[in-house]
Structure 1
Amino acid sequence: MARHFSLSGFPEWLPEQRLVEQHVLSTLQRTFELHGFSGIETRAVEPVSQLLSKGETSKEIYLLSRLQADQATDDAELGLHFDLTVPLARYVVENAGRLMFPFKRYQIQKVWRGERPQDGRFREFVQADVDVVGQDTLSQHHDMELPLVMVDALSKLPIPKVVVRASNRKVAQGFYEAIGLADIEGALRAIDKLDKIGEKAVAEMLMADGATDEQASQALTLAAITGSDGSIADQVLALGARSERLDTGLNELVDLVEGANELMPGSIVADLKIARGLDYYTGTVYESTMVGHEDLGSVCSGGRYDSLATDGKKTYPGVGLSIGVSRVLARVLGTPLVEASRSVPTAVLVAVMDEEHRRASERIAVQLRDRGIPTEVSPSAAKFGKQIRYADRRGIPFVWFPGDPDSVKDIRSGEQVDADAAQWAPPAEDLHPTVRMLS
């Protein structure tokens, strides 16, 4: 007999947990479509050269190969995609002639990363992305639209409140230029690690990349600025550094924060320590954390990218956000903070009088299913008491008893009434499993 090997980093939910996941995914889909986003799905693999085009990510890529591969005739080296943004860039370029711009898409799909599994981090996981992509230009107001879509979506999920924080890389880049930092991209990557490794370690990283002690201190002072209105600009300008890029970034950030909070009060907080480590972000960047679970890290992140997608003639700028669905589920299911009302979709179990009359029970089940009622037939013709206990263990709320007339019993309350399979229906709240947060 083959030995079973457990693989960490590849979540496999139990049926009742899968019901929660399906509820989350369907809620996200409905909300994204409510905001006018169209769903797409892209292939799971991309050329490695394409995956590497957005920065230093080679250690995260799972390579794809065949046991009988012929190196002389095989196509370019392939890898499993580790996010949904790079595939989107390729998809937009290949289909630009058939898309309407600005192109608003959502994508809910699995991705793969070859990193060490830990709390909230997996090798295989589900992401849910929303992006708006333009052709040559993309209006700045989409930078405000996207986080509000996510605030709406996240508020409908059975999870703790999520706080969306935003910054603008132009602010940090312009500030670093003004104070004379040589390695601006290195500084952004260092600041992005602030929550994980602390100020002292970040300062050491900055100085290792050529910053002076004073420049490192100034960068950390900038990163400490937060706010929910235009006062964030005053705090930044009070530091004394000025540049054209800095002014542009501040204007964009203030417009974003004030506009979003006017439409949805308290929806977004400016936080200048957010940098996002990936190289393709060019302006607004976002991160989000669940209240009371900040140790999990960001559960929804993204930003503006003005030059990720191009065919050499046209450029397709975009802005997008991504929810780490599996990361959120691992926390709310593992704690647990949420549960499904039952572990199976079934609302009705049709009892079987005896095996000779099983066909009669199956005909009743067909009638109920034809009317949209999730139904299964008892697997055995045991005594009714055992069939009821079977339904109870599975969380099935109703048991149907064939007879003359038929009857149906709510096994939670004990109430039993005569019923006709062509007319009877369970209460709306019992038709499908529901999901709720635990107090």
Structure 2
Amino acid sequence: MALTPARTPPGVLELLPLDQIAFQGMLDTIRGNFERFGFLPIETPVMEYADVLLTKSGGETERQVYFVQSTGALEQGEKPDQALRFDLTVPLARYVAEHEHDLSFPFRRYQIQRVYRGERAQRGRFREFYQCDIDVIGKDALSVRYDAELPATIYSVFRDLAIGPFTIQLNNRRLMRGWFEGLGIADGERQMAVLREVDKLDKRGEDHVRQTLEGEGFGLDADVVARILAFVQVRSNSLADAHARLDALGSGSETFEQGRAELREVLDLIKAFGVPETHFALNLSIARGLDYYTGTVYETTLNDHPQIGSICSGGRYENLAGNYTKSKLPGVGISIGASRLYWQLREAKLIGTATSSVQVLVTQMDEAKLPEYLALAGELRAAGINTEIVMEPSKLGKQFKYADRAGIRFVAVLGDDEIANGTVTLKDMRREDQFQVARADLARTLRVELEQAAVMGARP
């Protein structure tokens, strides 16, 4: 019988164990910060009804959906009525609409789950990937103050991930739309088209955006396009500079003034949350391509690695679940594409392989004394130390080699002399050092060694 080739589908991130531990550590850091800021966990099914999932939300993702069908339904010629979720926002909208009367508002949720998109297969673009989202959702209204809390959460996450200096860049869609109104671009659909084009500035360049806006599709005057491009070049280097640049824009429409007032308040509150001014800035080119954003929008970038692009993005929306309920449910949220971020960080050598989650290996010296080794492993596990035991006899050197290759730093040896003396020999594979310790003190000694190793590992 011919063997089936072992291969993974394109567009998935499948990791070896030590890399998986590093990735899981990143997810744990993100989760820990989400919970520290008072966000509550939810999970939604990987599948949603297609008519729920495909309600219009803007952007390209609806064209990349994977439909789901059982073999029985296929045999009966039925059309698929379910699809894999392509993001966590649409399922959140359905979740809030369905459980509205059981939730407390403002509802603060975090969600860390896989999503699925039919992306074109290419390096760093995945068809199955983790997203890590937080949202605050209000009932009828939601203060713009929450728009400032999310950058504080973002700062906490990326500070703890320790992947280098970063900047949270902010803009406001009302400010942009008000600016377009002042240039005579008042129609809502046309505004959104211009906004989506401006959002491509970093990817396609100023010349491409200028030619597109002056071309047949838009037909804007060269002077109008020049003013749009001047507007989106505005950046700040401090909070005072941000306020000065907002002042310099002059007066505008009611929409423009509302956007500017919101942006001022958000910028001031971000500082009040304790985020250093070096880590957030005004950037009037940030637009976000999804149509449902209405106010504050965010993108976060690594200062020393701009080629990576945005590592966290999101914004304010006015009616999250308008397709599913008559209630008005405004909110603000951000998303971290964790799989792509991990891949990019590894490619840029900003994150390495982790050590094993196994903290100590108990060796086997004599098969007849296996109960002794099992008892020692049990003592360590009861003390909260992750312990693996060698279950089959082999040469001690081979067991040390296994520990080294598996990334297990500490090895506990229990030979005849150790058993007779009530001691254990502890070998540190990284320092290539070993010492004896009383068996009664082994767990405490290991905890000290592990804490020191963690501190040394955290140093730059």
TM-score category, normalised to shorter length: over 0.9
Matches within 5 A, 1:384-423: 384-402=396-414, 403-404=419-420, 405-411=422-428, 412-420=431-439
> Take 2:137 and 2:147, find their aligned partners in 1: how far apart are those partners?
11
> Take 2:52 and 2:210, find their aligned partners in 1: how far apart are those partners?
33
Percentage identity across paired residues of the two chains: 38
Displacement, 1:3? 1.8
SS of aligned partner of 1:226: coil
Q: Which residue identity lines up with residue 395 of structure 1 in the other structure?
A: G
SS of aligned partner of 1:316: coil
Q: TM-score, normalised by structure 1?
A: 0.92
- Alignment correspondent of 1:276: 288
Please list the CA deviations of residues 360-393 of structure 1 after superposition, one character each: whole Å capped at 9, or x if unmatched: 3222212221221111112432232322222222
- Judge conservation of contact 1:302–1:321 (CA < 8 Å) in 2: yes
> Take 2:385 and 2:79, find their aligned partners in 1: how far apart are those partners?
49
Q: Which residue identity lines up with residue 47 of structure 1 in the other structure?
A: Y
Q: Which residue identity lines up with residue 185 of structure 1 in the other structure?
A: M
Q: 1:54 aligns with which of 47, 52, 57?
A: 57
- Alignment correspondent of 1:178: 182
- Alignment correspondent of 1:152: 156
Q: Which residue identity lines up with residue 37 of structure 1 in the other structure?
A: F
* RMSD between aligned residues: 2.5
- Judge conservation of contact 2:97–2:325 (CA < 8 Å) in 1: no
Unaligned runs of 5+ in 2: none
Q: Which residue identity lines up with residue 315 of structure 1 in the other structure?
A: K
> Take 1:241 and 1:51, find their aligned partners in 2: how far apart are those partners?
41
Q: Does the C-alpha gap of structure 1 residues 238 and 361 become closer, same or farther in structure 2, counting only changes over 3 Å?
A: closer
Displacement, 1:431? 6.8
Confirm whether residue 322 of structure 1 aligns to residue 335 of structure 2: yes
- Judge conservation of contact 2:232–2:283 (CA < 8 Å) in 1: yes
Q: TM-score, normalised by structure 2?
A: 0.88
- Alignment correspondent of 2:266: 256
- Alignment correspondent of 1:205: 212
Q: Which residue identity lines up with residue 64 of structure 1 in the other structure?
A: V
- Alignment correspondent of 1:42: 44
Confirm whether residue 26 of structure 1 aligns to residue 38 of structure 2: no
- Judge conservation of contact 1:109–1:128 (CA < 8 Å) in 2: yes
- Judge conservation of contact 1:338–1:437 (CA < 8 Å) in 2: no
Confirm whether residue 313 of structure 1 aligns to residue 313 of structure 2: no
Structure 1 residues 414-423 or 14-23, which shifts more?
414-423
Q: Does the C-alpha gap of structure 1 residues 414 and 236 become closer, same or farther in structure 2, counting only changes over 3 Å?
A: closer
Matches within 5 A, 1:279-318: 279-310=291-322, 311-318=324-331
> Take 1:230 and 1:189, find their aligned partners in 2: how far apart are those partners?
29
- Alignment correspondent of 1:132: 136
Structure 1 residues 226-235 or 201-210, which shifts more?
226-235
Please list the CA deviations of residues 23-53 of structure 1 after superposition, one character each: whole Å capped at 9, or x if unmatched: 1111111211111111111111223333332
- Alignment correspondent of 1:382: 394
Displacement, 1:300? 0.1
Unaligned runs of 5+ in 1: none
- Judge conservation of contact 1:340–1:433 (CA < 8 Å) in 2: no
> Take 2:52 and 2:105, find their aligned partners in 1: how far apart are those partners?
23
Paired residues in the alignment total: 438
Q: Does the C-alpha gap of structure 1 residues 222 and 213 become closer, same or farther in structure 2, counting only changes over 3 Å?
A: same
Structure 1 residues 385-394 or 265-274, which shifts more?
385-394
Between Structure 1 and Structure 2, which shows a larger proportion of helix residues? 2
Structure 1 residues 99-108 or 232-241, which shifts more?
232-241
- Alignment correspondent of 2:276: 265
Please list the CA deviations of residues 278-332 of structure 1 after superposition, one character each: whole Å capped at 9, or x if unmatched: 0110101001111222111111000001112135431111001111111221122
- Alignment correspondent of 2:255: 245
